[in-house]
């Protein structure tokens, strides 16, 4: 079914550990992404029992060569020289449409040499959260890893209480992280570092190989991809929650959905993760944190950039600094699209910021307000937008100078402003039904609604309305 290749195995053996998944008691397929399977050339997928054995880790699909990847990372600012796939296994790479290669990885498939104290397993709740939210992000048009399958194991995992266990199958452009480079840099393993950088260039940024300084060009490409990504996150109210360097993908995809959540009422200080006590990964901190993570990538790449450390620092510094202007440019493009502005004007950033300030002051829902602005752009009464006060008049005056016709503008705004997002209370409901009652109906229903987030669908919009009362105490937890 999958035509696996294994380019990662061309790297030195210390980049990974080869081992198989630990079989589970009673694998049962609870979700499968047929459309994605087709994209991966896996049309004519075998029956559910076989899929359950493959994606539960009880049987390997032909051609799979599982391995756990080595990586390090800064977690909440503290360097951990060895993390690695403690509960995940890369089965192999599969070519999709246009020859784009993608990793297929089991997560929750048992202990590995990188497990440290962990059990190598995942609980069903976090597996379903990653499934729902990563697919929602994809539908929203945000670069992200994808969800191929969720399999319950028939075994409990022990966290604070006993919970049903599950295995998640993730599809990613690759699993190379900032922390992967840090792992070899910390060991002063220049050979592996260079091999990894060459591999990342070939896989993600082939144009960099022709640059005058390929490793600097790699850094620049990753800086650009991350600036674009984080601007897109802010545009939909997404909070990753655990932006450690091991959760920062070189590809520029969103990766590692743990305590992530979407903001309801606009507040730049919003934090959901129970372990993020100081708000390090709050909504508005995400751009500077991404830049901080990229500075760690730059440090890891120093020996490849120039043999002379001071010269290397001099070359990478402006590239990392440039994150700020790249981010601003992407953010402004996102905000112009959200505001229905086709042409650029000097004051647009200020117009966007004034709106956000007014939304914050009035506690307005981020998603709904922008969707209402799209309705207002189509000529409807600006219902629900009264708290914006004089800003509305300023915006209309600005629109009058913009070349787009109102109907065209409203349609474009509806493609830039989702009608629905995975509201936290609905995600929790769906997870609870599955975990507590083995009822996957709410999960399926939510998954269906989130597949077309920009379409106007009254039922979906009512179901995924902003919460009646804000829940300032809403907390998310890491999947561990
Ligand atoms: P995460 O919080 O999922 O990004 O994981 C951070 C690190 O902890 C990675 O090295 C994971 O592989 C490892 N880890 C998380 N949960 C487990 C677990 N249950 N068993 C073993 N390792 C784990
Ligand atoms: Mg992680």
pLDDT in tens, 449-464: 999 999 999 999 999 9
Residue 122 CA, closest ligand 1 atom number: 19
Instruction: Supply 419's token pair.
Output: 């009608």
d(CA 259, CA 256): 9
**Which residues, in sequence order, are bridge partners of residue 17?**
68
What lies within 8 Å, CB to CB, of 292 at 6+ separation is: none
Our answer on whether the CB atom of 81 is closer than 6 Å to any ligand 1 atom is no
d(CA 127, CA 129): 5
Our answer on whether the CB atom of 258 is closer than 6 Å to any ligand 1 atom is yes
d(CA 135, CA 148): 9
Mean pLDDT calculated for residue range 259-269: 96
Taking Cα atoms as reference points, which of 253, 250, 358, 337 lies closest to residue 298? 250
Percent of the chain with pLDDT over 70: 100
Q: Specify the residue with its C-alpha closest to ligand 1, atom 15.
A: 480
Q: CB–CB of 260/240 below 8 Å?
A: yes
Query: What is the pLDDT at residue 382?
Result: 77
Our answer on whether the CB atom of 75 is closer than 6 Å to any ligand 1 atom is no
Our answer on whether the CB atom of 105 is closer than 6 Å to any ligand 1 atom is no
268 burial level (CB within 10 Å; 0-12, 13-18, 19+): middle
Our answer on whether the CB atom of 119 is closer than 6 Å to any ligand 1 atom is yes
Q: What is the dihedral of CA 416, 420, 422, 427, to 10 degrees?
A: 180
Our answer on whether the CB atom of 82 is closer than 6 Å to any ligand 1 atom is no
Asked whether the predicted pLDDT for residue 304 surpasses 90, the reply is yes
Please name the helix (run of DSSP H) or strand (run of DSSP E) that holds residue 90, with its range, or none.
Answer: strand 88-95
Q: For residue 5, how far is its CA from the centre of ligand 1 (angstroms)? A: 26
Q: For residue 50, how far is its CA from the centre of ligand 2 (angstroms)? A: 28
Query: What is the pLDDT at residue 452?
Result: 98
Q: For residue 220, how far is its CA from the centre of ligand 1 (angstroms)? A: 29
Per-residue confidence band for 1, with pLDDT thresholds at 50, 70 and 90: confident
What sign has the CA pseudo-torsion 71, 330, 421, 139?
negative
Mean pLDDT calculated for residue range 297-302: 98
User: Of residues 246, 256, 276, 375, which has the active-site annotation?
Assistant: 246
Lowest-pLDDT range of 33-37, 381-385, 415-419, 433-437: 381-385
What sign has the CA pseudo-torsion 249, 254, 256, 259?
positive
Instruction: Supply 238's token pair.
Output: 């997404």
Q: Specify the residue with its C-alpha closest to ligand 1, atom 11.
A: 86
Instruction: Supply 340's token pair.
Output: 């229905």
Q: Any catalytic annotation for residue 198?
A: no
Per-residue confidence band for 479, with pLDDT thresholds at 50, 70 and 90: low
Q: What is the pLDDT of residues 65-116, one digit of tens each?
A: 999 999 999 999 999 999 999 999 999 999 877 888 999 999 999 999 999 9
Give residue for tokens 């694998």: 27
Q: CB–CB of 199/11 below 8 Å?
A: yes
CA triplet 3, 8, 14: central angle to 5 degrees?
A: 145
Q: For residue 409, how far is its CA from the centre of ligand 2 (angstroms)? A: 40
């Amino acid at each position: 079914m999958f035509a696996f290749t294994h380019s990662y195995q061309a790297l030195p053996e210390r980049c990974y550990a080869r081992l198989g998944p630990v079989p589970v008691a009673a694998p049962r397929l609870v979700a499968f992404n047929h459309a994605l399977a087709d994209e991966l050339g896996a049309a004519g997928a075998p029956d559910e029992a076989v899929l359950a054995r493959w994606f539960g880790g009880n049987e390997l699909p032909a051609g799979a060569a599982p391995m756990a990847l080595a990586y390090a990372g800064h977690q909440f600012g503290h360097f951990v020289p060895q993390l690695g796939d403690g509960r995940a296994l890369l089965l192999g790479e599969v070519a999709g449409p246009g020859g784009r290669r993608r990793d297929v990885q089991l997560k929750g498939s048992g202990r590995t040499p990188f497990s440290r104290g962990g059990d190598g397993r995942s609980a069903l709740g976090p597996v379903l959260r990653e499934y729902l939210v990563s697919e929602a992000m994809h539908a929203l048009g945000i670069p992200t890893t994808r969800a191929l399958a969720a399999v319950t194991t028939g075994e409990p995992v022990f966290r604070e209480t006993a919970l049903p266990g599950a295995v998640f199958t993730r599809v990613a452009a690759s699993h190379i992280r900032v922390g992967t480079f840090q792992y070899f840099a910390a060991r002063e393993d220049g050979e592996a570092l260079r091999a990894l950088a060459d591999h990342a260039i070939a896989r993600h940024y082939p144009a960099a190989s022709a640059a005058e300084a390929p490793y600097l060009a790699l850094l620049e490409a990753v800086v650009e991809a991350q600036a674009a990504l984080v601007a897109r996150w802010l545009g939909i109210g997404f909070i990753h929650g655990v932006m450690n360097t091991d959760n920062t993908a070189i590809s520029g995809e969103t990766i590692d959905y743990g305590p992530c959540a979407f903001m309801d009422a606009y507040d730049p200080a919003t934090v959901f993760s129970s372990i993020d006590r100081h708000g390090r990964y709050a909504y508005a901190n995400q751009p500077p944190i991404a830049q901080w993570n990229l500075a760690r990538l730059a440090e890891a790449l120093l020996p490849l950039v120039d043999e002379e450390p001071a010269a290397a620092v001099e070359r990478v510094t402006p590239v990392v600094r440039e994150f700020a202007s790249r981010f601003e440019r992407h953010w402004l493009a996102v905000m112009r699209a959200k505001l229905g502005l086709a042409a650029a004007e000097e004051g647009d950033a200020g117009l966007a910021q004034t709106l956000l300030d007014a939304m914050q002051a009035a506690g307005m829902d981020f998603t709904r307000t922008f969707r209402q602005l799209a309705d207002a752009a189509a000529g409807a009464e600006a219902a629900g937008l009264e708290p914006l006060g004089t800003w509305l008049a300023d915006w209309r005056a600005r629109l009058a100078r913009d070349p787009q016709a109102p109907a065209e503008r409203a349609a474009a705004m509806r493609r830039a402003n989702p009608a629905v997002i995975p509201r936290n209370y609905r995600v929790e409901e769906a997870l609870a039904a599955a975990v507590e009652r083995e009822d996957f109906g709410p999960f399926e229903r939510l998954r269906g609604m989130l597949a077309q987030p920009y379409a106007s669908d009254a039922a979906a919009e009512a179901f995924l309305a902003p919460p009646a009362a804000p829940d300032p105490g809403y907390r998310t937890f890491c999947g561990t």
